[in-house]
Structure formats: C-alpha cells, structure tokens
C-alpha cells in the first residue's frame, strides 16, 4: 500500500473520502482509537464482568446480577481482590485486542474492497464488512488470549485459592500445565469473538447508514458533532445487543474453562455437563446489559477520538 496523498486515477477505497485518505498514518491513528475505546470500556465494566463470569461458572451460587454482586462484595470486598479483581489483565488484554480489532478492520476493509472492485463493494458492502471484521478479530484474539485466560481464572476462583494479581496469576498458570496457559482458550475465544466482532461491525455499519437514510436525512456534515456522536452511540448500542446474543454460548464456555473442576476437560464435555440451555441463557441478561453499553461506548469513544483528529465519524 502506498502512502501517496494524491488521488490515484483508478478507483481506490482508501481515497473515497479525499479529505481523509486512508494512508499508514490513518491506520495508526485508528489503532490508537481502538486501544482507547476497548481498554477503557472493558475495564470500566469489570464489576459486571466478575458477576457475569461467576454466574456462568457457578449458577447454583450466583443466581442474578444483583444477588451475585452483593455476594462477591460481602465475601471478597470492593477492591482489586474483590468486585474489581481481574481489572489489570482486562485493561491490557482489551487494549491489545482493541488495537487489532479497530485498526486492522479499517485496513482489511480497504484491502478487500480494492480486491473486489468498485461494483462488488458497492453492491455487496456487507460482505466486505464481515470479511474485514473477521480477519481483524482473528489476529486481535491472539494478543487477547493470555490476558483473557488470566482474567477469567482470577475472577472465578474462590477467595484464597488463586492469586488475584496479574503477574502472580500468570506465573501460577504457567507453572500448572493443566490450565493450558497461554493459548488453550484461543479456539473458543475465536468462536466467541469473531462472530461477536462480525456482528458488531456489520450491524453498526448497517444501523448507522439506516439512521442517516431514513431518520437523519440531511447531509451528515450538516448535523452537529454532538448529534453525529449520539447516532454513533445508539447504533453501537443496538449492535451490541445482537453481539451479546450471538457470542454468549462461546463466552460461557471460556468462563467455564477457568473453573478448577473443569481443568483438563474438552469444551464438548464441559458443554454437555453444563447443559446447552444453561450455556445459551445463564448470565445472558447481564451480558446484554454489559455488552450493549460497552459496545455503544466503544463506538462513541472511537468516533469522538476520530472526530477530534479530523477523521470524521464512522459508517460512511
């Protein structure tokens, strides 16, 4: 790919917005936006994540969001050893993942668009979004996996049975081959995150375009930045609800893998023992609340960042 700022003669997806060409500098900025959007939001909802993971792993003890949160706070406290445990691997893991998710999506979307050509991209844009997001998440999850395994193990281990500090937890998992650290959970992570990210980007792109086509019908630039960012948040939130439903079964299995009694078991065996209804529904309401809010905020932060740098909002 060239960094030339002059518009080439042939059609090129990187130059569809002449005022903001997609050169190397653009992709680097998108990587920064992804770090900011994903690292901060996932860390902010860490208490919800702690309860959700425990509802999935120990449904007999953690029966609802409110009851589960009260139980953890009562038994383990408010801090980094209690309702906030796992916040540091969450921050690092999802910062790395966000860099790949958003930065590589922009790159792959342009790459596949140019491979397909103008006609196919115009008529089958949804396929381009799906292919770009799936490719981006494939690589992003490689960076996320070790941190996600540590996070889940820390969050679901009973008090006093496992270190809560990130580095101590990593050392303990590395010393115990049965945990499969650092990449044992990569396959179920792909099964969770790739469909999630495909839904996240596809439905965001589709919903934001629908808003501008049928509700906010004036030229996009005629609306204030606040209005554009509100549309971004609403589109992201709606996309996030779909994401939560699509990715929940695999998310349950990733959480269950961290339970001590499941060490060494295959995911098929875990699924059979838990029951498929439990896998698909336990903790889903909490996950919808968490992922809907999280996805809406991610897109809002990402587009606020892009707007501040003169890159415009997403979904063109």
Q: Is 6 exposed, middle or buried (0-12, 13-18, 19+ CB in 10 A)?
A: exposed
- Does 137 reside within a domain? yes
Q: Is residue 112 part of a domain?
A: yes
Give the list of residues 6+ apart from residue 248 with CB closer than 8 angstroms, or none.
280, 281, 283, 284, 287
**DSSP assignment of 208-264:** HHHIIIIIS-S-GGGS-HHHHHHHHHHHHHHHHHHHHHHHHHHHHHHHHHTSGGGTT
122/151 same-domain check:
yes
Positive or negative, the Cα torsion across 311, 33, 28, 183? negative
Q: Give the per-residue pLDDT at 83.
A: 92
Report the b/e string of 93-110 with b at 16+ CB within 10 A.
bbbbbbbbbbbbbbbbbb
Q: Residue 1's pLDDT is what?
A: 47
Same domain, 216 and 179: no
Domain match, 107 and 253 both: no
Task: Select from 249, 122, 272 the least CA-distant residue to 193.
Answer: 249
Q: Tokens 């996009």 sit at which residue?
A: 220
What's the CA gap between 191 and 299, in Å, rounded? 22
> Which pair of structure tokens corresponds to residue 238?
């709606």
Do 307 and 209 share a domain, yes or no?
yes
Residue 184, classified by CB atoms within 10 Å of its CB into exposed (0-12), middle (13-18) or buried (19+), is: middle
> 236 and 116, same structural domain?
no
CA distances from 22 to 76, 135, 136 (A): 48, 18, 17
Give the whole-angstrom CA distance, residue 284 versus residue 244.
8
Domain that holds residue 110: 20-183
Q: Which two tokens stand for residue 132?
A: 């770009």
Residues 167 and 243 in one domain: no
Per-residue tokens: 142: 């490689």
Choosing from 183, 204, 223, the residue where a domain stops is 183
Residues 225 and 87 both lie in one domain? no
Distance CA 201, CA 49 (A): 22
What is the torsion angle, in degrees rounded to the nearest 10, for the CA atoms of residue 130, residue 136, residue 137 and residue 140? -170
Residue 287: Cβ within 10 Å count: 25
42 and 159 housed in the same domain: yes
Please tell me the predicted confidence (pLDDT) of residue 258: 65
213 and 91 both lie in a single domain:
no
- What pLDDT, on the 0 to 100 scale, is given for residue 315? 75
- Is the residue at 288 inside a domain? yes
Q: Which of 183, 216, 234 is the last residue of a domain?
A: 183
Mean pLDDT for each 10-residue chunk of the chain (316 residues)? 55 89 95 96 90 84 90 90 93 96 96 95 94 97 96 90 94 92 91 89 94 92 93 94 84 73 73 79 81 90 94 82
| Token couple for 55 | 């509802």
164: in domain: yes
pLDDT at 2: 47
> What CATH number did the domain enclosing 107 receive?
1.50.40.10
Say yes or no: 248 and 305 in one domain. yes
Of the residues 133, 158, 183, the one at which a domain ends: 183
Is 11 among the domain residues? no
- What domain count does the chain have? 2
Do both 236 and 149 map to the same domain? no
Look up the pTM and report it: 0.81
Is residue 14 included in any domain, yes or no? no
**Residue 246 belongs to some domain of the structure:** yes
Q: Are both 204 and 112 inside the same structural domain?
A: no
Residue 153 lies in a domain: yes
């Amino acid at each position: 790919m060239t960094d030339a700022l002059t518009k080439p003669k042939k059609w090129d997806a990187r130059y569809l917005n002449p005022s903001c060409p997609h050169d190397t500098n653009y992709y680097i900025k998108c990587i920064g936006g992804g770090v900011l959007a994903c690292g901060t939001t996932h860390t902010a909802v860490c208490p919800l994540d702690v309860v959700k993971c425990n509802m999935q792993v120990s449904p007999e003890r953690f029966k609802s969001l409110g009851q589960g949160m009260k139980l953890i706070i009562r038994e383990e406290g408010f801090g980094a050893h209690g309702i906030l445990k796992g916040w540091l691997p969450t921050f690092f893991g999802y910062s790395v993942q966000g860099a790949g998710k958003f930065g590589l999506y922009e790159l792959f979307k342009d790459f596949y668009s140019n491979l397909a050509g103008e006609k196919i991209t115009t008529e089958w844009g949804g396929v381009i979004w799906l292919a770009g997001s799936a490719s981006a998440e494939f690589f992003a999850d490689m960076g996320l996996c070790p941190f996600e395994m540590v996070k889940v193990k820390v969050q679901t281990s009973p008090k006093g049975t496992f270190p809560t500090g990130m580095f101590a937890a990593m050392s303990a998992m590395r010393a115990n081959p049965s945990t499969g650290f650092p990449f044992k959970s990569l396959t179920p992570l792909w099964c969770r995150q790739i469909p999630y990210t495909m839904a996240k980007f596809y439905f965001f792109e589709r919903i934001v375009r629908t808003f501008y086509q049928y509700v906010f019908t004036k030229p996009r630039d005629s609306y204030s930045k606040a209005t554009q960012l509100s549309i971004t948040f609403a589109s992201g939130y709606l996309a996030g609800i779909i994401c939560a439903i699509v990715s929940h079964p695999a998310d349950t299995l990733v959480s269950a893998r961290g339970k001590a009694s499941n060490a060494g078991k295959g995911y098929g065996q875990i699924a059979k023992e838990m029951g498929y209804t439990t896998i698909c529904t336990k903790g889903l309401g909490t996950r919808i609340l968490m992922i809907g809010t999280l996805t809406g905020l991610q897109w809002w932060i990402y587009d606020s960042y892009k707007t501040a740098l003169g890159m415009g909002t997403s979904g063109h």
